[in-house]
Each structure stands twice: as structure tokens, then as C-alpha cells.
Amino acid sequence: MATVINRVPDSVSTPPPANDADDGYRPTADEPFMSLKQQAYFRKKLLRWKDAILLEAQSTLSQLQVDSLREADLTDRASSETDWSIELRTRDRQRKLVAKIDAAIRRIDEGEYGFCEVSGEPISLGRLEARPIATMTVEAQERHERNEKVSRED
């Protein structure tokens, strides 16, 4: 019988929603951009996201230690190996995501968070809410992707 692997929940692939335990604060355009309150909000959001990823990674590690590939049937073993390969690739993507989260936290510490690394303009709160690791405005990201596509076609 093939081992069933827990797939990565959406909450790990994307930033977690605001927690009910939070004070209900959500950044708005009516306040100074990247005020201390906004910085604290995004730091908390990034740390919760990172914790969720690390918890899921620990769960995967525990599952790997418990479920070794002992299936007698070659088809079942191949299926299990494929499942684990997919799971480990997912974990590798999550590891890279943790590095991006750490970089975003560093940018908060350095006072650079929320500003486009290309233009220096503020990144919209909506974009940061959806993708708190964003380093470029939507416009700069689109230009970057267009340039990347053009250079790949050459």
C-alpha cells in the first residue's frame, strides 16, 4: 500500500490571513506609509508565515522518519518514491521562500521594506498584503518579466 503524503496547504504557500488574535489592525492608505505600526504588522505577518512553513517542514521530516520505503510491491514503492520526490521538491521551494521572508524582515529592520528596489517608489499596501515578500511595484515587476521573456527568446 502506497504512503499517503500530506500536501502543502495553501496557508503555507501563501501568506496567512490576519489572525483573529490580532488587534484587528489592517494598514490603510490614510496613514503614513511604512509607519512603525505598519512595519510591526508586516513583521508579524512574515513571522507567522515563516512559522507555518517551518512547522510543515518539521511534519514532513517526522513523516519521513516514520514511513521508510518498505513496500514489497515494486509499483507501490515507485509510487511512494514519486510522492516523496514531489514532497521534497515542495520543501525545497519552501526553503527558498523562508530565505525571501528573512530578507523581507531584514528590509524592515533596515527601513527599506515596502519600497521598490528598482524605482524606490512605495509598493502598494494591497500588493504587500497579498505578497509580503514583494520587492518591486507591480509595474516594475511587469517590466522585469517582459525583459526576462525577451532575453529568453534571444
Same domain for 122 and 109: no
Same domain for 102 and 83: yes
Reading the block at residue 102, the C-alpha cell is: 528573512
Residue 8 lies in a domain: no
DSSP labels for 55-100? HHHHHHHHHHHH--S--SSHHHHHHHHHHHHHHHHHHHHHHHHHHH
Report helix angle 36-66 to 74-110, nearest 10.
160
Residue 18: predicted pLDDT: 61
Q: What is the DSSP letter of 141?
A: H
What's the structural domain count of the chain?
A: 2
Residue 3: predicted pLDDT: 43
- Taking CA atoms, 32 is separated from 18, 27, 125, in Å, by 21, 10, 12
Same domain for 97 and 131: no
Q: What is the mean pLDDT of each run of 10 residues along the chain (154 residues)?
A: 44 62 83 96 97 87 68 78 81 91 98 96 97 96 90 70
Residue 64 lies in a domain: yes
Residue 15 lies in a domain: no
Same domain for 123 and 67: no
Same domain for 100 and 136: no
Same domain for 88 and 129: no
Residue 19: predicted pLDDT: 57
* CATH code, 65: 1.20.120.910
> Which residues touch 66 (CB under 8 Å, ≥6 apart)?
none
Residue 16: predicted pLDDT: 67
Same domain for 91 and 68: yes
Residue 83: predicted pLDDT: 79
Residue 88 lies in a domain: yes
Same domain for 137 and 94: no
Question: Is the whole-model pTM more than 0.85?
Answer: no
Domain that holds residue 67: 32-113
